[in-house]
């Protein structure tokens, strides 16, 4: 769902003579978020920065099932020029777009987009990549590094996470956590900010302080990446979902996975406790079990 201030993009596809939202197919060796950004660029000429996950829709086209994942996607740069797939693009308000698009599935995506403000704050919460078995590491567990499989996972994260335009990188002070997101930080030209409250040892003695620290990070400028551990992330996601009224079917947390969290900015009257301090409120949470593309068959 490509958007800019006050309007969304709707495209005309001459092959089908319909008005549609930009979408397309995965290339071999491509993740869903990468395909979303590439297809938007190819169809519209605009480079986009991804935001919250919107929904997944399923339908049949020419007798074959299709499944499409949609993200909010803010225009970063570019300009439209007619091409083989799209001969016209219109920037229209959501209500006008709903009347213009041909399919009901596109209308359902527009409704999901309109359910929350377009410019929500987003945060990428990552579990560190594989680091071998603790029992096989003879030294201080804090210093246990990534395994070869972990470095491959870190490489996938290095490719996928920039699609959301991150500006800051935070990590629990464990070598395996820092190494997981070090490449993202290097590509941004920033350092990794250490977060003791978001390690297992730092989080559990004072859960509320850990939650507050995560919300402080979310409430800052830009989009942060935060790397933590499997003993912390499920509790953070479940607690924030409960506080925000977000329904989740579970809080999985595989090594090298990521949660895309979207927040409304701080609102008076909402807090993590009975205090009057207000914090961002979680409105959307989407899980990526891996940042690596599916193997081709």
Query: CA 122, CA 119: separation in Å to the nearest integer?
Result: 9
Spans of all domains in the chain: 2-114, 121-288
User: Which residues are 90's β-sheet partners?
Assistant: 10
pLDDT value of position 267: 65
Instruction: Give tens-digit pLDDT for 90-106.
Output: 999 999 999 999 999 99
In the CATH scheme, what architecture does the domain 2-114 have?
Alpha-Beta Complex (3.90)
Mean pLDDT of 239-268: 94
Instruction: Give tens-digit pLDDT for 158-167.
Output: 999 999 999 9
217: left (phi over 0), alpha (psi -120 to 50) or beta: alpha
Query: CA 136, CA 192: separation in Å to the nearest integer?
Result: 27
pTM: 0.94
Is pLDDT above 80 for 297?
Answer: no
Q: In the structure encoding, which two tokens stand for residue 283, read together?
A: 């409105």
Instruction: Give tens-digit pLDDT for 200-232.
Output: 999 999 999 999 999 999 999 999 999 999 999
Kindly report the number of other CB atoms within 10 A of residue 151's CB atom.
17
In the CATH scheme, what architecture does the domain 121-288 have?
3-Layer(aba) Sandwich (3.40)
Asked whether the beta carbons of 22 and 39 are under 8 A apart, the reply is yes
Is pLDDT above 80 for 266?
Answer: no
Is pLDDT above 50 for 274?
Answer: no
pLDDT value of position 135: 81
Mean of pLDDT over the chain: 94
Q: In what order do the strands lie in the sheet with 223-228?
A: 192-194, 166-171, 223-228, 121-127, 258-264, 281-288
In Å, what is the CA distance from 289 to each residue of 153, 250, 254, 258? 11, 13, 6, 7
């Amino acid at each position: 769902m490509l958007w800019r201030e006050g309007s969304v993009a709707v495209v005309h596809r001459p092959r089908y003579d319909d008005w549609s939202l930009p979408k397309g197919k995965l290339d071999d060796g491509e993740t869903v978020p990468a395909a979303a950004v590439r297809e938007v660029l190819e169809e519209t000429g605009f480079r986009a920065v991804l935001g919250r996950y919107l929904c997944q829709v399923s339908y049949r086209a020419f007798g074959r099932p299709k499944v499409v994942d949609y993200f909010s996607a803010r225009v970063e740069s570019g300009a439209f020029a007619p091409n083989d797939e799209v001969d016209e693009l219109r920037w229209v308000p959501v209500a006008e777009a709903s009347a213009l698009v041909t399919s009901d599935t596109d209308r359902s995506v527009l409704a999901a987009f309109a359910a929350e403000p377009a410019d929500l704050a987003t945060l990428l919460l990552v579990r560190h990549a594989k680091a071998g078995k603790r029992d096989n590491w003879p030294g201080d567990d804090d210093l246990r590094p990534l395994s070869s499989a972990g470095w491959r996972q870190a490489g996938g994260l290095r490719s996928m996470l920039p699609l959301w335009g991150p500006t800051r990188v935070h990590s629990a002070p464990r070598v395996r956590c820092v190494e997981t997101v070090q490449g993202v930080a290097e590509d941004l030209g920033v350092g990794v900010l250490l977060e003791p409250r978001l390690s297992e040892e730092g989080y559990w003695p004072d859960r509320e302080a850990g939650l507050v620290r995560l919300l402080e990070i979310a409430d800052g400028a830009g989009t942060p990446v935060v790397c933590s551990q499997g003993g912390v992330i499920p509790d953070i996601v479940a607690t924030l979902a409960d506080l925000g009224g977000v329904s989740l079917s579970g809080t999985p947390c595989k090594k090298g996975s990521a949660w895309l969290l979207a927040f409304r900015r701080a609102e008076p009257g909402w807090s993590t406790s009975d205090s009057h301090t207000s914090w961002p409120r979680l409105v959307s949470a989407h899980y990526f079990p891996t940042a690596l593309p599916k193997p081709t068959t």
